[in-house]
Amino acid sequence: MTFFTATTLIEDERHPTLYDTIIHLCVQMHPLDGPPAVARTDSAPEFKALTDDRQLKHHRITIDLGHAKNQNKNPVA
């Protein structure tokens, strides 16, 4: 298993902005015929809305929400 971290600055936290940013960051990092890319995020409502997004699934990207009870909201493996 390989881990890689990518970041970018965004103008706002609206659904279209987050959607475009996730696709932009993840598509470059994984092969189209390989396993899906997993974007680990906090449990913000904007990310919850993206967990079942068809276009993200088309790009082979899944969203892994952080645990709400975790103090710093990071996902726990």
Please report, rounded to a whole number, the percentage of residues in the chain having pLDDT higher than 90. 3
Question: So what's the pLDDT on residue 45?
Answer: 82
**CA–CA dist 66, 22 (Å, integer):** 16
**Is residue 62 within 8 Å of residue 41, measured between CB atoms?**
no
**CA–CA dist 70, 42 (Å, integer):** 10
Residue among 18, 65, 20, 60 at smallest CA distance from 37: 60
pTM for this one? 0.68
Q: Would you place residue 77 in the very low, low, confident or very high pLDDT band (cuts 50, 70, 90)?
A: very low
- DSSP annotation of 70 reads S
Domain boundaries, the chain: 15-65
The residue that leads in pLDDT, 25 or 69, is 25
Question: So what's the pLDDT on residue 22?
Answer: 86
SS3 34: coil
Question: So what's the pLDDT on residue 73?
Answer: 56
